[in-house]
Structure 1
Amino acid sequence: MINGLLKPDLAIENCAQLLTVSENSPDLVGLIQNGYIAIKGERIIFVGNKEAYEQQIDRRDCKVIDGSDRVVLPGFVDCHTHLVFGKSRVEEYAAGLVPGGLEKYRATGFKTGMAASVDMTRLEPEASLYLESHKKIDRMVRNGTTTIEIKSGYGLDKETELKQLKVISKLKQNSKADISTTFLGAHGWPMEMSKDRYIDFLINEMIPQVAEENLAEACDIWVDEGYYTAKDAEKVLRAGMDHKLEAKIHTDCYSYIGGSDLAAEMGMMSGDHLNYTPEAAIKKMIDAKVVGVFLPGTDFSVTHPLPFNPRPMLDAGMQVALATNLNPGNWVESQFFVITLACRKHQMSVEEAIKATTLGGAAALRRNHELGSLEVDKIADIQIWDTDNYKDVAYKHGQNFVATVIKRGQVVVGL
């Protein structure tokens, strides 16, 4: 501060629409017409209108970006991905587009689904896993995503799970996005081991090693018919919590067997999917401040028999997030596509969808105190769209609106 004025390193002036997405915004997105924002180092030091900006800011020697005819908003926070995996399953996906095609594909001897991805990830060298994952992250950043959660879960053995987690650790050090790591050893269990024996292996060997080597911040599990039970999940996730790993859960995607209730009982970070979650469990999750994470790309890719309905949760006041669930069976890298689906197929408003891909995603990672909105003292993760109306994101389908991305105060895309 010089002569009582703030002296930023970077400012964005005259933004057609500045969306702060602050927690208590009455319009959900915190719209400021003709808004201004100033950044010092990694942090935001000013957000407001022109009059306040001219009174509080010394813009000499400051890099200025013209926001005329542009929308400025927080970077997307993608709170649920599986982006470190072996080869593509494009042939399987293409076969499944026509009636009977997937059955014919399997009849030729090819594995499908998670079993195929586990085999391919086990075989993939660490170097190529890293290279392909880095490319995905670069594309995601160019689509406005500045923070990404990445899960393991395509190994189901110690060697491959650790390989995935080590790739994620390297990506953390060398990517333009911030990365949060989740250990999802309980994505399924290996054919060579019983479920109960594998649970013991996770609890007694994998979780302690993952925690000791600081390879993850959270532990996750799949709870559904044919996967793990809520009782199984409690064992695994409590073991994780005993080793300082936060808990989250895939649940209620194809059935309701108590996973969302457990999410509330354990005060988890998030419950993800939630297609079959009943009203009573929704209330428990809200009371426990568990974030509901919706994955519209998944419902689209698998032609889900019961696409998620966010209205009961939104109308009851649940904090919700939207994420890509990028994985080899649902190759979605763009939160723009997620917003399109959420608004058109799942009855979310544009404002609800924008909040869910920014502040909601940050809340699901318990980082909404520093990410997900444009407020003073928060990290300057910002995207600038080449449009003057934020509602275009749900109207003009298939576009990447990003002109500029700012990560921790530095321009990483554009200009």
Structure 2
Amino acid sequence: MTRPRADLIVRNASELLTCAGERDPGIVREGALAVAGDEILVVGTWDDVAAAVDLDGAVVIDAGGNVVMPGFVDCHTHVVFGGSRVDEYSAKLTGGDLNVLRAAGVPVGIVGTVDATRRLGVDGLVAEALPRVEEMLLAGTTTIESKSGYGLETAAEIDMLRAGREIGRRLPVDIVSTFLGAHAVPVGVDRARYVDMIVSDMIPRVADEQLAEFCDVYCEPGYFDNSDTERILEAGLASGLRPKIHVDQYSHTGAAGLVAKLGCVSADHLNYTTPEEMKTLARAGVVGVLMPSIDFAVDHPRLADGRAMLTAGMRIALATDICPGGWMPSMQLVVALGCRYYRLSPGEAILAATRGAAEAVGRGGRIGTLAPGALADIIVLDVPRHEDIAYRFGRNAVRTVVKSGRVVVEDGRLV
């Protein structure tokens, strides 16, 4: 019987993490894998791989006795935006008065980013976001969910989504787009009128141009209430956009039942979600997306309870939430912070940053795992054990990145 021919092989991994299990990273010691085209053919020991495929002519990546794992999936980001809010961040660190900054015309909060974003247009947004996305790729992220939400008017929201699509064409990274027109109410606009605009104008435009897969709402007092959220997400569903939700970040909204009823793919933040609500979300198959880097950036008084979510049976994911309020591109650091803040083991955190995150963007089984038939998104890190990703924090340990079967980062540089 003719063996399939491999185009690329990875061998000599101290630990190859399949991330195919429910609660552990699926370690194959002295692991190897083979790739044909953009998909993984076989995973196992070197003897398993050598016996299963024809290796003649394949590109060989020697992991050098280090960890091999799936590329990170960053399932919640605001990576496309204009400007910087470094002055706001610096003022918050020392208890500064943000009203003084506002009076001086310094950008503050979501609406503070809107003007800079609207001014840039598609080309300007691409130019500003490309370096951020490149930095994320160099740190091992191969799939990025990218939200709109800093336009807060139809044309600017469309520009943000078009910019995300263009970035995916220019860099070897998959961009998964989410429409988040309901991120905040623009200054000087009545909330009910703005919700009408989202439902009647923005969502149809986004759907017609096929600019997004998901529709998201920031469900929080002072932003969008449960009734607004239901109306917007139902409108998105009617236009083919699957629902996501920012919820319970700064207060308890009681929206868990609504989240379950709507079949949200993910519920993100969850700082004030109760144990009983966690069980409701678990039964509905909603992925809980936790973002320790934004909890760090805002010095959140109440951290999400990742351990309780796992106990309740929830699937959890980790993400950077890179945004103007928390400019953090590294999923490696997210793993370390997730272990500390949410009482996760390194294996659980890695699983949340790969398989769990893949499920949060509707791609479970296709990415975030090293298994036959999965997309060949692979990273090699210069650490001997997976626990070192959490232990040796604050550095970029990624040496090699393979995206869809092609080496795109080698020795820490784009190729």
TM-score range, shorter chain: over 0.9
Match of 2:274 among 265, 271, 278: 278
Q: Offset at 1:101?
A: 5.3
Between 197-206 and 107-116, the greater mean CA deviation after superposition = 107-116
Given candidates 324, 349, 355, the residue that maps to 1:353 is: 349
1:90 counterpart residue number: 86
State the AA in 1 paired with 2:183. Answer: H
Alignment of 1:163-202 (within 5 A): 163-202=159-198
Which residue is equivalent to 1:287?
A: 283
Query: Letter of the aligned partner of 2:43 in structure 1?
Result: V
Aligned partner (choices 58, 61, 70) of residue 66 of structure 2:
70
Match of 1:13 in 2: 11
Share of identical aligned residues, percent?
42
How large is the Cα RMSD of the aligned pairs? 1.3
Alignment length, in residue pairs? 411
Query: Counterpart of 1:302?
Result: 298
- 1:311 and 2:307 correspond: yes
Conserved 8 A contact 1:380-1:408 = yes
Q: Distance in 1 between matches of 2:48 and 2:108?
A: 58
- In 2, are the aligned partners of 1:240 and 1:247 still within 8 Å (CA)? yes
Instruction: Pick the aligned partner of 1:397 from 379, 393, 399.
Output: 393
Query: Match of 2:93, SS?
Result: coil
**Residues 336-383 of structure 1, C-alpha deviations (whole Å, 9 max, x = no match):** 111111112221110110000000110001101211100001100000
Q: Deviations over 1:368-413 (max 9, x none)?
A: 1211100001100000001111111111120111000000000000
Indicate the SS of the match to 1:397: coil
Indicate yes or no: 2:66 matched with 1:80: no
> In structure 1, how many angstroms separate the alpha carbons of the residues matched to 2:296 and 2:213?
29
Q: Does 2:267 align with 1:263?
A: no
- Structure 2 length as normaliser, TM-score? 0.96
* 1:129 pairs with 2:125: yes
- Check conservation: 1:149, 1:182, Cα contact below 8 A: yes
Q: Could you report, residue by residue, the CA deviation over 1:96-142 in whole angstroms, capped at 9, with x for unpaired residues?
A: 21133545434534341112111211122432210121111111000
Whether 1:34 and 2:44 are equivalent positions in the alignment is no
- Give the distance between the partners of 2:17 and 2:347, measured in 1 at CA: 10
Residue 162 of structure 1 and its aligned partner are, at CA, apart by 1.1
Indicate conservation of the 8 Å contact 2:287/2:360, yes or no: yes
Q: Which runs of 5+ in 1 are unaligned?
A: none
2:149 is aligned to 153
Shift of 1:44: 0.2
On the 8 A contact 1:22/1:373 being kept in 2, the answer is yes
- 2:100, 2:205 → 1: CA distance? 42
What's 1:372 paired with? 368
From 88, 113, 118, the equivalent of 2:114 is: 118
1:38/1:217 Cα in 2 relative to 1: closer, same or farther (>3 Å)?
Answer: same
Letter in 1 for 2:64: S
**Once the two structures are superposed, what CA deviation does each residue of 1:261-304 show, in whole Å capped at 9, x if it has no partner?**
21111111100000000122111111110000001111100011
What TM-score results when the alignment is normalised by the length of structure 1? Answer: 0.96
Paired letter, 2:185: W
**How many angstroms apart in 1 are the aligned matches of 2:175 and 2:160?**
14
1:407 pairs, out of 403, 406, 413, with 403
Contact map agreement 1:229 1:259 (CA 8 A) in 2:
no
Structure 2 gaps of 5+ residues are none
Asked whether the 8 Å contact 1:248–1:269 carries over to 2, the reply is yes
Q: Which amino acid is the alignment partner of residue 18 of structure 1? A: L
Whole-angstrom CA distance in 1 between matches of 2:162 and 2:274: 38
Pairing partner for 2:321 from 315, 319, 325: 325
Deviations 1:51-72 (A, max 9, x none): 3223222211111111232100
Residue 234 (str. 1) matches residue 230 (str. 2): yes
CA distance in 1, matches of 2:51, 2:159: 53
Is residue 252–residue 260 contact of structure 1 (8 Å, CA) maintained in 2?
A: no
SS for the counterpart of 2:325 is coil
State the match for 2:248 in structure 1. 252
Structure 2 contact 293–328 (Cα < 8 Å) conserved: yes
Residue 188 of structure 1 deviates from its aligned partner by: 1.0
Instruction: Provide the C-alpha distance between the structure 1 equivalents of 2:299 and 2:99, rounded to a whole number of angstroms.
Output: 16
Deviates more, 1:213-222 or 1:47-56: 47-56
Aligned to 1:69, what secondary structure does the other structure show?
Answer: strand
User: Which amino acid is the alignment partner of residue 153 of structure 1?
Assistant: G
Corresponding residue number in structure 2 for 1:223: 219
Task: Give the secondary structure class of the aligned counterpart of 1:70.
Answer: strand
1:413 is matched by which residue type in structure 2?
Answer: V
